[in-house]
Structures are given as structure tokens and as C-alpha cells.
Amino acid sequence: MSAARFVDHFSKHSDVYAQSRPTYPDSIFRRLADLAPARERAWDCATGSGQAAIGLARHFEHVEATDASAQQIGNAIATPGVTFSVQPAESTTFAAGSFDAICVAQALHWFDVGRFYAEAKRVLRPRGLLLVVGYDRSRFEPAIEPEFERIVLAPLKPHWPQQNKLLWDGYKDLPFPFTPVDFPATDIELDWTLEQLLGYVASWSATRTLLPSQPAYLEEIAAALAPLWGDGSRRVTMPLHVKCGRHDG
């Protein structure tokens, strides 16, 4: 079997990714554990810096967290009950029937989905679950929303990889060959300083593509947003797209 093409936008700046990406609501992982056939083993596929692995570890006895990027794994957040390894999503060394649940957070749009689904079905136990979750574009207070669109997002528009549209559309255009399981969506709610927001913007694939031609971009948007944001924290909302399915094979 030929190797899947690894679409890598984050390895070179994995330290920025680790410091700036949000974690997920605990309710997601609690519900996944409640629905899974057991709570023994979960796989956090394309773990990045381990944000979802932290949540899984609160509800499963052991979590295997993998990423195709050695740099991402090198910056992962050490967590009791989590074993990190460098492995692609589409082909792992895990034994068949290894997991009660698999989680893919903010990553399905980068996969060769056909090969990943085959691998997921291979390593899931009977009645095991696949949970796919991804956060949409951030939402802000009414006074900030249009300015964020104009100042931050407009310059980035030509630089987003085409895969991001799959995420923003809630993965509706991707096949999902699992028996659907009801899984209410929720939001990530954060109170961020401007510095934290800028760290998150700096981690985006589109930002990393823009910076070589506009190296002052981050400094320019910081100066433009500062009068609106002020010195304190502002609410940032990230709506989540959630799909969950059961392996009945």
C-alpha cells in the first residue's frame, strides 16, 4: 500500500501551535466515554500538541495519541495516561480491535479519508465510536466582529488551503461510513487577551503562508486591534462541528 500524502502546515511552527490552540469542552469526551462500549482505550488521531488527548485521558484508562509530525509530538503536552507516537492517520502499528473510541479533532480535512476510515474500522472494537470534531471561525462581540473580519481575515482570504472549507462546511461534503450517533454540538468559550488571540492567529496555516510576503502582518493587526480590544480579556466563541458514528462491522 502506498503512503498517504501528509499535508503539513504546522510542523515548522509546532511550538506556536502548542502554546496557542484551545482545548475542548469536557462534555464532549464525557459523552464519548458514556457511549463507547468500554472506557479502556482511546486513540487521539492527529493529536497535534495533545489538546484533545488531555480531555480523553480524563475519561479513558489509556490514550494513544499520534501525529504524522514529529515536531508536533515533540511539543506535545505530557499527560498521565497518554502515550504519544509519530504515526500517520491512515496506517498505524496498532493491533486490530484495539480501541473503544477514536477522536479526530481539527484534523479530518487533512486526511486521505478513505484510507483513514479503513484504518479506523480496523482498529476499533465492535460497536466502537469515531468522533470527529472541529472548531469553526471565531466569533466576537458585535463591536469587534466586523473589524476582525476587515483587519485580520480579509488579508488572509487568498491564503487558506482548500481543505479548510471542508471544516468550515461542517464536513458535510465528506463521506462518513459509520452508523450515526446523536452528539449535540457545543461551543468553545474563551476569555482571551489580545496577546492570546494574536498567538492563535499566528498558528493558522493561512497566516504562515502570508508572512513571507507580509512579514509585518502580525504587528500591523496587533496595532489595529489594540484600541478595540483594550488591556483586559474579551470573549471569543468557537462554534464546534461534531460528527459521531459507530462501527457496526
Asked if the structure places residue 1 within a domain, the reply is no
101-123 burial, b for 16+ CB within 10 Å, e for fewer?
bbbbbbbbbbbbbebbbebbbbb
Domain assignment of residue 30, yes or no: yes
**Is residue 196 in some structural domain?**
yes
pTM of the model: 0.86
Per-residue pLDDT tens, the chain, 249 aa: give them: 333 444 444 444 444 444 566 889 999 999 999 999 999 999 999 999 899 999 999 999 999 999 999 988 998 889 999 999 999 999 999 999 999 999 999 999 989 999 999 999 999 999 999 999 998 889 999 999 999 999 999 999 999 988 889 888 988 889 999 999 999 878 999 999 999 999 999 988 899 999 999 999 999 999 999 999 999 999 999 999 999 999 997
Is 150 within a domain? yes
In eight-state DSSP terms, residue 136 is -
Does residue 61 belong to any structural domain of this protein? Answer: yes
Domain extent at residue 134:
11-246
Domain count, the chain: 1
**Helix, strand, coil % in the chain, rounded to nearest 5:** 40, 25, 40
Q: How far apart are CA 181 and CA 179, in angstroms?
A: 7
How open is the CA angle 55-56-57, to the nearest 5 degrees? 90
Residue 242 lies inside a defined structural domain of this protein: yes
Kindly report the CATH number assigned to the domain that includes residue 87.
Answer: 3.40.50.150
In a domain, 123, yes or no: yes
Partnered with residue 130 across adjacent β-strands are 102, 245
Q: Is residue 15 part of a domain?
A: yes
